[in-house]
């Protein structure tokens, strides 16, 4: 009987610890920063950039990069689409 109780409690603890792992990973995600003309950019390495759509208007874009200290950042900015002919 005691063995069953210990097994039940240990499986409950393992499940609780498994549920905590995604929240730790979610907290490590960088906050999306909005670009302004006064934003100081410290870009050491560009990790990824969003694709620019084929439209003739201003569209939002994102860039993920590492700074000189190795911290990951996500920057949201506006860019002109690739669909303009002139």
pLDDT attached to residue 29: 82
Rounded-to-integer distance, Cα 31 and Cα 11, Å: 35
For the stretch 38-75, pLDDT in tens is 999 999 999 999 999 999 999 999 999 999 999 999 99
Looking at per-residue confidence, does 3 or 69 come out higher?
69
Q: Do 32 and 76 contact (CB within 8 A), yes or no?
A: yes
Q: Where are the domains of the chain?
A: 2-80
pLDDT attached to residue 85: 79
Looking at domain 2-80, its CATH superfamily turns out to be Protein of unknown function DUF2790 (2.30.140.50)
For the stretch 9-32, pLDDT in tens is 676 655 555 555 555 555 578 899
Give pTM, 2 decimals: 0.63
């Amino acid at each position: 009987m005691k063995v069953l109780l210990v097994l039940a409690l240990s499986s409950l603890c393992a499940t609780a610890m498994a549920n905590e792992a995604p929240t730790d990973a979610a907290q490590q995600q960088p906050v999306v920063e909005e670009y302004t003309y006064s934003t100081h950019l410290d870009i050491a390495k560009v990790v990824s950039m969003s694709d620019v759509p084929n439209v003739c208007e201003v569209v939002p874009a994102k860039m993920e990069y590492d700074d000189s200290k190795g911290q990951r950042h996500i920057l949201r900015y506006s860019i002109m689409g690739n669909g303009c002919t002139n």
